[in-house]
């Protein structure tokens, strides 16, 4: 644990720099609180990603870009940020790559154990709660924004978001990562309840393409996955096949 701390602190300071670069000036003026008040606004930065998950009748569609950056260098341009936690439960990772990988590994273990004890498929809410437990307990050390999505027999397709800080809430559609700021308007205006699987796939791919266009820390290919009762179908949309929009 001691050996890990210096590395974690180093990552945190580099993310704080990225935070100053990405947020406009008037947001950072809210941050001169004393110790009595938590520093929410400065914590709300997830760097280097756009992730998204949408519920539809019968399952969920999840998507992410594929870029991992260390500063200005793209360490991995074909990252897979959609991590399986259980057979029909995935998580989308944003924030520190090391933190989210470690959390995902731990939760995978805990959920696997729990599912064997119960002798049935775990609930998506259980997985989300495990993420929330860990993200909240170690909130000072971690920088992780996670979207948990999957299908279970009891409640069907569900999306839970566990942003930096460790809250958990269920949402029909959720976006996260640094690129997500740019597509809030698009998602708010284009999401409708009751979309089909194909509509959700198109919606997710377009939203991610728009975010990747504007966010320097998101890019590469669009990875998509559909989770339903039948299982998991994965696909990747490569650079030249991405949806195009008429931009300036």
Partner 1 sequence: MSEELFPEPEWLSEEVKTGTTIIAVTFDGGVVLGSDSRVSAGESVVNRVMNKLSPLHDKIYCALSGSAADAQTIAEMVNYQLDVHSIEVEADPLVCSAATLVKNISYKYKEELSAHLIVAGWDKKKGGQVYATLSGLLTRQPFAIGGSGSFYINGFVDAEFRKNMTKRECQEFVVNALTLAMGRDGSSGGVAYVVTIDKDGAEEKCILGNELPKFFDE
- One of 3, 140, 194, 247 touching partner 1 (CB under 8 A): 247
Note whether 213 binds partner 1 by CB under 8 A: yes
- One of 1, 2, 72, 248 touching partner 1 (CB under 8 A): 248
Helices 4-22 and 97-118: crossing angle, nearest 10°?
A: 110
Do 44 and 27 contact (CB within 8 A), yes or no? no
Task: For residues 167 and 151, give the distance between their C-alpha atoms in angstroms, rounded to a whole number.
Answer: 21
Note whether 45 binds partner 1 by CB under 8 A: no
Task: For residues 63 and 55, give the distance between their C-alpha atoms in angstroms, rounded to a whole number.
Answer: 12
Note whether 87 binds partner 1 by CB under 8 A: no
Q: Which is nearer to partner 1, 69 or 174 (CB)?
A: 174
Note whether 207 binds partner 1 by CB under 8 A: yes
Q: Which is nearer to partner 1, 34 or 240 (CB)?
A: 34
Note whether 245 binds partner 1 by CB under 8 A: yes
User: What does DSSP assign to residue 81?
Assistant: -
Annotated catalytic residue, options 29, 32, 47, 49: 49
Task: For residues 25 and 203, give the distance between their C-alpha atoms in angstroms, rounded to a whole number.
Answer: 32
Catalytic residue flag (residue 49):
yes
Do 138 and 171 contact (CB within 8 A), yes or no? no
Do 65 and 169 contact (CB within 8 A), yes or no? no
Task: For residues 233 and 61, give the distance between their C-alpha atoms in angstroms, rounded to a whole number.
Answer: 10
Q: Which is nearer to partner 1, 96 or 181 (CB)?
A: 181
Q: Smallest distance, Å, CB 182 to partner 1?
A: 4
Q: Smallest distance, Å, CB 34 to partner 1?
A: 6
CA distances from 191 to 158, 161, 173 (A): 16, 17, 8
Note whether 13 binds partner 1 by CB under 8 A: no
Task: For residues 54 and 208, give the distance between their C-alpha atoms in angstroms, rounded to a whole number.
Answer: 12
The token pair at 152 is 């279970």
* 3-state DSSP assignment of residue 84: strand
Kindly identify the residues of this chain, within the stretch 156-195, that bind partner 1 according to CB under 8 A. Answer: 171-174, 181-193
Q: Which is nearer to partner 1, 50 or 100 (CB)?
A: 50
Note whether 111 binds partner 1 by CB under 8 A: no
Note whether 40 binds partner 1 by CB under 8 A: no
In the complex, which residues of this chain contact partner 1 (CB under 8 A)? 24-27, 29-30, 32, 34, 171-174, 181-193, 206-207, 210-211, 213-214, 245-248
């Amino acid at each position: 644990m001691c050996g890990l701390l210096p590395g974690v602190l180093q990552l945190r300071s580099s993310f704080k720099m990225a935070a100053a670069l990405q947020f406009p000036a008037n947001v950072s003026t809210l941050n001169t609180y004393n110790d009595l008040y938590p520093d929410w606004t400065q914590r709300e930065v997830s760097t280097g990603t756009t992730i998204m998950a949408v519920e539809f009748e019968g399952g969920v569609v999840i998507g992410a870009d594929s870029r991992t950056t260390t500063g200005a260098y793209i360490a991995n341009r074909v990252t897979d940020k959609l991590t399986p936690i259980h057979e029909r439960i995935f998580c989308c990772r944003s924030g520190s790559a090391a933190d989210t990988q470690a959390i995902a590994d731990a939760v995978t273990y805990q959920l696997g154990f729990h599912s064997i004890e119960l002798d049935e498929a775990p609930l998506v809410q259980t997985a989300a709660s495990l993420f929330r437990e860990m993200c909240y307990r170690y909130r000072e050390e971690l920088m992780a924004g996670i979207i948990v999505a999957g299908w279970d027999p009891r409640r069907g397709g569900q999306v839970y978001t566990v942003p930096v800080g460790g809250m958990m809430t269920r949402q029909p559609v959720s976006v996260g990562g640094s690129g997500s700021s740019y597509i809030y308007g698009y998602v708010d205006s284009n999401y409708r309840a009751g979309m089909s699987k194909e509509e959700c796939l198109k919606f997710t791919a377009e939203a991610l393409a728009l975010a990747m266009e504007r966010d320097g820390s998101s890019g590469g290919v669009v990875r998509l996955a559909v989770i339903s009762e039948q299982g998991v179908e994965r696909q990747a949309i490569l650079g030249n096949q991405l949806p195009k929009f008429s931009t300036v």
